[in-house]
Amino acid sequence: MKERGSRGLGAQLSAICMALLVPLACGPCCAARAAEPDEPAETGKTAKTAETAGPWNAGARGNPYGRWAKGPPADPSFFPLAVWLQSPRTAERYRAAGINVFVGLWKGPTEEQLALLKRAGMRVVCDQNEVGLEHRDDPTIVGWMHGDEPDNAQSLGKGKGYGPPVPPEKVFADYEAMRAADPARPVLLNLGQGVAWDAWHGRGVRSRHPEDYPEYLRGCDVASFDIYPVVHPSPEVAGKLWFVPRGVDRLREWSRDQKVVWNCIECTRIGNVKAKPTPRQVKSEVWMSLVHGSMGIIYFVHQFEPEFVEAALLADPEMLAAVTALNRQVLELAPVLNSPGPPGVASARSSDPAAPVDVLAKRHGGATYLFAAGMRAAAVRASFDVKGLPAKAEAEVLGEERRIPVAEGTFEDAFEPYGVHLYRVR
């Protein structure tokens, strides 16, 4: 869940956050697809190959942004790393942390907000209001956006409860209007946790209707969603980080890989005073998302409880340092992530079928890259089979200062629970 908020609105937004989150812990819940509580569903299958079944072939066509004249950069070295609804006055600090896009501007865009972002060299995806359209030639704006989470039940006003979600046909009509006003930029649609979790009752009368989502996706160019398992109040989701890549998989499946997929990542306690993501969990969620084909990350950085902090990431030195290092790693590997994914390159097999390791394979600059993520909270060993290598090769484990011999295209490594390893093989 994401909230639209800004400085001075802490109490109001905290109330909204709790109104949506707290009932979830008390109501009847069941796991995705009415299956076993920890069923892997679409996410995490043993011996996953890098190109299996379309949705697993991340970035198959390379950097997707060249189709828009004024969208995000088509430069292979660019990869969207965003924050949700932050004050432009913090843009320079976020830029120092590796953030290169703001998503959403409170009651904006305004002239002042755009001027601050431009001064900081920060791009933005924002509402297509009158000020925004007056800046059609401003490279600061790289995309337009719908209102947040139209797939959720919509407020009828203070004290009046909630009505049904915004109909998909209304989202599509709004998309057509935005495209007509400016076809040079993509339109982003951010959806709620129903993307990954069918039992989310916050969709009201459309709960357990995942068939709505392919219709919603007609109304965008970039599709995003949010679910925050570390701080989630429901035991059906709490601690199960695999719900994040599961949502990425579903967006890619529902759109038949015709939409660019981004997703949101938790990095604060949001509204849960008893739980907060660790740097390792944030890294796991980001890399699981990328392995499963996300082409953009949006960090949710607000905190609502025990007190409202709009830029809670900037107020958390440990997490800020970890996210900065993580962003640096992603950006260093952006040319690899943006390169086409050749079919049939690699597969991974876990020592525990209930705790698979998923892998994304790329070839770039004369090397084969494997990005691998453990999909469950269990320690396992994974064996990798890589095609097209010489009889003897070596896997450099990026960021870990170690190397693994590769014989006849095969090597093994150990994974901690939800562990991540990135390999350059040559």
Q: Which of 30, 57, 40 is nearest to 355 (CA)?
A: 40
pLDDT, residue 56, reads 34
pLDDT, residue 239, reads 98
Give the CATH H-level superfamily of domain 346-425: Golgi alpha-mannosidase II (2.60.40.1180)
Q: Which of 73, 165, 181 is nearest to 127 (CA)?
A: 181
Residues of the chain with CATH 2.60.40.1180: 346-425
pLDDT, residue 95, reads 98
And the tokens for 117?
């972002």
Q: Report angle CA 214, 29, 19 to the nearest 5 degrees.
A: 85
b/e map 44-55, b = 16+ CB within 10 Å: bbbebbbbeeeb
Residues of the chain with CATH 3.20.20.80: 10-30+64-337
Hey, is 19 helix, strand or coil? helix
Cβ atoms of residues 201 and 192 within 8 Å: no
CA-CA distances (angstroms) from residue 213 to 209, 255, 387?
Answer: 8, 9, 36
pLDDT, residue 341, reads 82
Please give the Cα distance from 32 to 374 (Å, whole number): 20
Cα end-to-end distance, the chain, whole Å = 42
Q: Which of 267, 281, 311 is nearest to 374 (CA)?
A: 281
The pLDDT mean for the chain works out to: 89
And the tokens for 92?
């320079």
Segment 239-295, tens digit of pLDDT: 999 999 999 999 999 999 999 999 999 999 999 999 999 999 999 999 999 999 999
pLDDT, residue 63, reads 85
Helix, strand, coil content of the chain in percent (nearest 5): 30, 20, 50
pLDDT, residue 241, reads 98
CATH class of residue range 10-30+64-337: alpha beta
Per the DSSP assignment, residues forming a β-bridge with 126 are 144
Does 109 sit behind a cis peptide bond, omega within 30 degrees of 0 on the bond before it? Answer: yes
Q: Which of 254, 174, 244 is nearest to 209 (CA)?
A: 254
Which residues of the chain are modeled with pLDDT < 70? 1-61
User: Which class for 397: exposed (0-12), middle (13-18), buried (19 or more C-beta within 10 A)?
Assistant: middle
The residues near 32 (Cβ < 8 Å, ≥ 6 apart) are 39, 41, 196, 197, 198, 199, 243, 246
What DSSP state is assigned to residue 90?
G
pLDDT, residue 61, reads 60
β-pairing verdict for 380-386 and 410-415: antiparallel
Residue holding tokens 């956050």?
A: 17
The kind and range of the H/E element at 260 are strand 260-261
Residue type present at position 114: L
